[in-house]
Amino acid sequence: MASDAPFRTIIEPFRIHSVEPLRLTTPEQRRAALDGVGYNLFSIHAQDVLIDLLTDSGTGAMSRDQWAAIQHGDESYAGSPSWFVFRDAVQHLFPFRHVIPTHQGRAAERILFEVVGGPGQVVPNNTHFDTTRANVEATGAEALDLLIPEGRDPSADHPFKGNLDVGALERLLTDRASDVPLVMVTVTNNSGGGQPVSLANLREVRAVCDAFGKPLFLDACRFAENAWFIREREPGQSGRDVIDIVRDMAGLADGMTMSAKKDPMGNIGGWLAMNDDALAEQARNLLILTEGFPTYGGLAGRDLEALAQGLREVVDHDYLRYRIRSTAYLGDALVARGVPVVTPIGGHAVYLDARALLPHIDPLRYPGQSLAVALYEVGGVRGCEIGTVMFGRRPDGVEAPAAMDLVRLAIPRRTYTQSHIDYVIEVCERVAARAGELPGYRITDQPAALRHFTARFEPLT
């Protein structure tokens, strides 16, 4: 009699409906491309990349039903039916009173911090993402990371390494309550390894916020992946519907920022949501100034429709099981081959520990940059340095090593197959085998803020 036990192989819960060709390049072509752009992978032409793991942001494949939803897009300037479809889909998961659409996450951040930020203010978070930090700092405020110590240790074993350090938050608020306009928690913690935050931690953060009368905002780009980890790992949560866990997360917060290019499965989009009427009014006024009328933000009606459908799809358990398992497939294979990675494996990406793999390169010589360049040169795989290039320059211009030097291999949703990932594993293995030969880098040119996007580098020979 055949067994009904589940199979080990977690298959993609979809089949391919439309394909995009990939372009193969030679190592010589890739070396020339690197040289031509000052070794900055953001400046490489995407058609010169074979497997693009630079980001999971807006790079996923939309479903048949999302493309169909696009046909329902209504482009009325004000009060479009597509707006109400979008708003209802957001509020189904995140029942905040006000939903303010934006063209992407950083627009929501800019509006929020323009209203609540400013010189002398300090905004705590588990770890600010680069655009969040930059938008806080652009107002003259301080962006403070208060991650639990385990979250800063690439190999520490903890089920919720994205948790915020509640004791540190309490100390901050005891000392400087009047300087803190709100508390943020990023789910999952992108800059800290894609690690989840537990419901218990959110409850503790909420209690501290209540004690000091502070609002709590979620940076909720990867809310569904976070909820799946809660279901898998948090005592008492297994067997629950992810939708209910997401609503619990939202219920502990007063508002949120969102990049809809992640879990909402869009190629563009975002929103800012909140319960506070006065804050919402100020935010809408700023929205009208630069993004658009409050029923479309910076988005077309067709984008709003695609996002509403994406929000329905991302909370599907079969999808989330596949998503988290397929990311772990890459991470587990690298661990088995002795390549140092952040563990446990996060939700949307595998983070290579460049500082551990390249101990001969001082953090101020950018080991993450060196590793990311080598992955591209050897196999046409594009990852993203998340380390001293991204975070090492303070607002006063002084350079200091970031907490970790990582290379993020972010996996676009529903886009690459297992054989693509098997190829990535082989490329990482080959680069790791000659890690001792990789050079450090020096920056030859850089902008004042968000330097990783446009800085130019030179290998140190």
Ligand X SMILES: Cc1ncc(COP(=O)(O)O)c(C=O)c1O
Q: Does 255 bind ligand X (CB under 6 A)?
A: no
Pick 63 or 190: Cβ nearer ligand X: 190
Least distance from ligand X to the Cβ atom of residue 32, Å = 29
Q: What angle do CA 437, 438, 443 make, to 5 degrees?
A: 145
Dihedral sign from CA coordinates of 222, 69, 95, 271: positive
Residue 354: beta bridge partners?
Answer: none
Q: Does 163 bind ligand X (CB under 6 A)?
A: no
Q: Does 135 bind ligand X (CB under 6 A)?
A: no
Contact 350, 330 (CB under 8 A): yes
**Window 42 to 81, contacts with ligand X (CB under 6 A):** 57
Q: How many CA atoms lie within 13 A of 453 on its CB side?
A: 8
* Span near ligand X by CB under 6 A; candidates 84-92, 126-134, 247-255, 280-288: 126-134
Tokens 């993004």 found at: 291
Dihedral sign from CA coordinates of 71, 75, 81, 85: positive
Q: Does 106 bind ligand X (CB under 6 A)?
A: yes
Pick 415 or 418: Cβ nearer ligand X: 415
Least distance from ligand X to the Cβ atom of residue 359, Å = 28
Q: Does 129 bind ligand X (CB under 6 A)?
A: yes
* Span near ligand X by CB under 6 A; candidates 24-32, 99-107, 161-169, 393-401: 99-107
Pick 193 or 379: Cβ nearer ligand X: 193
Which of residues 117, 196, 270, 368 is near ligand X by CB under 6 A?
270
Pick 259 or 327: Cβ nearer ligand X: 259
Least distance from ligand X to the Cβ atom of residue 288, Å = 19
Pick 102 or 357: Cβ nearer ligand X: 102
Contact 295, 83 (CB under 8 A): yes
Residue 164: beta bridge partners?
Answer: 147
Determine how many CB atoms are found less than 10 A away from the CB of residue 175: 10
C-alpha separations of 319 from 15, 149, 219, 264, 414 in Å: 12, 32, 22, 13, 9
Pick 246 or 339: Cβ nearer ligand X: 246
Q: Which residue is nearest to ligand X (CB)?
A: 105
Pick 357 or 402: Cβ nearer ligand X: 402
Pull the structure tokens for residue 186: 């990023």
* 77: Cβ contacts below 8 Å, ≥ 6 apart: 293, 296
* Span near ligand X by CB under 6 A; candidates 98-106, 223-231, 367-375, 411-419: 98-106
Q: What angle do CA 158, 163, 166 make, to 5 degrees?
A: 120
CA distance 404 to 369: 12
Which of residues 110, 206, 261, 323 is near ligand X by CB under 6 A?
261
* Span near ligand X by CB under 6 A; candidates 84-92, 125-133, 303-311, 330-338: 125-133
Pull the structure tokens for residue 17: 């409906």
Chain residues binding ligand X by CB under 6 A are: 57, 104-106, 129, 131-132, 186, 190, 219, 221, 259, 261, 270
